[in-house]
């Protein structure tokens, strides 16, 4: 290969790689900034406070994986309750579809953990290094004692916050009071140590270093959310008709220019480093920072706000925006359906599970009195938060006799009791070889806790 060819190949290879530029977004103030602050503070507040809440003498929200129990305030969920998880995931999916179609990437800009933690890390960065101009100055400075001290302070702050985040995360799976004591006496288990460090490292890496790269290169949602948009979806957009031709001008200078003074503030505040004036881009996470930045400029220029606004493509084109449209109605109907269904199921939920297992070794046996006997094992799982004593009843065949080889059916909370059960029927009452029966269990101290299972009673073939 000739030198020229080689150099062309190298150039081509190099052009495929864009060196990552660190983004130093300028701070903003205004209506949308306040909304974002409110969202960040409430969501992070919830995350850090919830594991400390108590309910009935235990941690209010605890995902106890070894015991396979999820405590959520007054409710305890078991693996048998997987149906609720299905409903929860369906609600989350349809809520995402509904809000994205209606209001764009609200999730990305205001509620996604990546955005929320990045925002906190940016606040800490500004607190230590100053706003964008100071950060850029510091970036250009060669390493000296001052720069080292500032950078070290920032990273120590980030690491401390990340460790607190990792510790809180594990506090959702190990009772946080126990975890705190274990940390103080350096007695955490291997898994607890691993997850605290792993989650801390992920927080530090994602919110401190990777930031917008997660949204731009790694998040799949950024790629497919466009499919949910239509011309009536609210999004952050630049009003090109009003803004162009853009250009700098002196105050009160009359030029045939649009409202955009090309100050570049909307670009400087953007956490993903894009220029919203170039149209819709998948990198835009709808953080709305550019709206506040541009509004401030417009106020100073005595021009109406909203050159960069939260609007729809139809509005920008002077057409009517339709909020109620078929997609919105279908998504909201499905969302409502899943929410009502889940609410109903939860209100009907009985903290008791009953399983009936027939004895596989013997279909039936004839007793000395000439009655037909079938043997079962009854498994009672007490899913309530209190101990209960249960009574077992059976119906389906006239005169069916029930014999339990255990009189006291007391089951502590969260435990399973296996009880052998024998049923005896008068052969004269057996109209078929195999008859349906129902076996029920009921808490003696709370009759509303009861459940019923169907089974079969097998007898000899009738001639
Ligand atoms: S373009 Fe505006 S709304 Fe989109 S990410 Fe940048 S600052 Fe946020
Ligand atoms: S902030 Fe507004 S005026 Fe300034 S460049 Fe952006 S769109 Fe133009």
* Most ligand 1 atoms within 8 A of CB, residue of 35, 108, 290, 292 to mutate: 290
Residue with tokens 């995360």: 169
Give this prediction's pTM: 0.84
Pocket test for ligand 2, best of 248, 265, 268 (most atoms within 8 A of CB): 265
Dist. CA 369–CA 427, nearest whole Å: 11
192 dihedral zone (left: phi>0; alpha: psi -120 to 50; beta): alpha
pLDDT tens-digit map of 250-305: 766 667 889 999 999 999 999 999 999 999 898 999 999 999 999 999 999 999 99
Q: Which ligand is nearest to the Cα of residue 257, counting in written order? A: 2
Mutational pocket test of ligand 1: of 25, 270, 280, the residue with most ligand atoms within 8 Å of the beta carbon: 270
Average pLDDT, the chain: 91
Summarize the confidence of residues 140-156 as an average pLDDT: 97
DSSP string, 292-341: HHHHHHHHHTT--S-SEEEE-HHHHTTPPP-SS-HHHHHHHHHHHHHHHH
Q: What is the pLDDT of residue 261?
A: 94
Cis peptide before 245 (omega within 30 of 0): yes
For the stretch 215-254, pLDDT in tens is: 998 998 888 887 889 999 999 999 999 999 998 887 666 6
Assigned token pair, 343: 């609410």
As to burial, measured by CB atoms within 10 angstroms (0-12 exposed, 13-18 middle, 19+ buried), residue 54 is exposed
Residue 33 token pair: 């900034």
Q: What is the pLDDT of residues 382-409, one digit of tens each?
A: 988 889 999 999 999 999 999 987 778 9
Q: How far is the CA of 412 from the centre of ligand 1 (A)?
A: 55
The rounded Cα 238 to chain-centroid distance in angstroms is: 31
Over pLDDT 70: what percentage of the chain?
A: 95
> 14 pLDDT exceeds 60?
no
Q: Measuring from each residue's beta carbon to the nearest atom of ligand 1, which residues come in under 6 Å?
A: 236, 269-272, 274, 276, 284-290
* Span 136-144, average pLDDT: 95
Looking at the CA of 36, name the nearest ligand.
Answer: 1
Between 5 and 424, residue with greater pLDDT: 424
Centre of ligand 2 to C-alpha 129, Å, is 26
pLDDT of residue 1: 44
How high is the pLDDT of residue 252? 66
Q: What is the pLDDT of residue 9?
A: 46
């Amino acid at each position: 290969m000739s030198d020229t060819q080689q150099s062309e190949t190298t150039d081509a290879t190099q052009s495929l790689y864009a060196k990552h530029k660190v983004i130093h977004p300028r701070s903003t103030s205004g209506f949308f900034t306040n909304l974002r602050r409110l969202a960040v503070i409430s969501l992070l507040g919830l995350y850090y406070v919830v594991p400390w809440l108590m309910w009935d003498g235990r941690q209010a929200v605890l995902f106890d994986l070894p015991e396979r129990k999820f405590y959520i305030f007054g409710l305890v969920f078991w693996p048998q309750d997987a149906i609720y998880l299905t409903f929860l995931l369906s609600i989350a999916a349809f809520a995402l579809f509904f809000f994205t179609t209606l209001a764009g990437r609200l999730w990305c800009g205001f509620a996604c953990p990546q955005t929320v933690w990045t925002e906190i890390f940016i606040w800490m960065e500004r607190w230590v290094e100053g706003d964008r101009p100071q950060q850029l100055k510091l970036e250009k400075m060669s390493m000296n004692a001052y720069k080292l001290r500032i950078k070290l302070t920032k990273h120590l702050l980030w690491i401390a916050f990340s460790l607190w985040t990792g510790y809180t995360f594990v506090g959702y799976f190990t009772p946080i009071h126990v975890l705190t004591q274990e940390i103080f006496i350096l007695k955490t288990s291997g898994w607890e140590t691993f997850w605290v460090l792993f989650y801390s490292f992920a927080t530090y890496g994602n919110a401190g270093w990777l930031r917008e790269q997660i949204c731009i290169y790694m998040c799949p949602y950024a790629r497919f959310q466009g499919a949910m948009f239509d011309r009536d979806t609210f999004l952050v957009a630049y009003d090109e008709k009003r803004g162009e031709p853009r250009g700098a001008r002196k105050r009160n200078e009359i030029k045939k220019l649009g409202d955009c003074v090309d100050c570049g503030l909307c670009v400087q505040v953007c956490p993903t480093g894009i220029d919203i004036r170039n149209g819709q881009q998948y990198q835009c996470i709808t953080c709305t920072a550019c709206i506040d930045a541009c509004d401030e400029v417009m106020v100073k220029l005595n021009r109406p706000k909203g050159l960069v606004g939260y609007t729809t493509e139809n509005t920008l084109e002077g057409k009517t925006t339709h909020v109620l449209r078929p997609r919105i109605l279908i998504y909201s109907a499905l969302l409502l359906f899943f929410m009502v269904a889940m609410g109903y199921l939860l209100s009907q939920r009985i903290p008791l599970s009953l399983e009936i297992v027939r004895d596989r070794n013997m279909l039936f046996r004839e007793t000395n009195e000439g009655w037909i006997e079938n043997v079962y094992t009854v498994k009672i799982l007490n899913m309530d938060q209190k101990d209960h004593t249960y009574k077992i009843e059976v119906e389906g065949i006239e005169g069916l006799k029930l014999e339990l080889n255990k009189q006291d059916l007391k089951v502590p909370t969260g435990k399973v009791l296996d009880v052998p059960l024998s049923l005896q029927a008068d052969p004269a009452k057996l109209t078929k070889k195999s008859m349906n029966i129902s076996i029920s269990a009921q808490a003696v101290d709370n009759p509303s806790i009861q459940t019923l299972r169907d089974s079969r009673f097998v007898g000899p073939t009738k001639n």
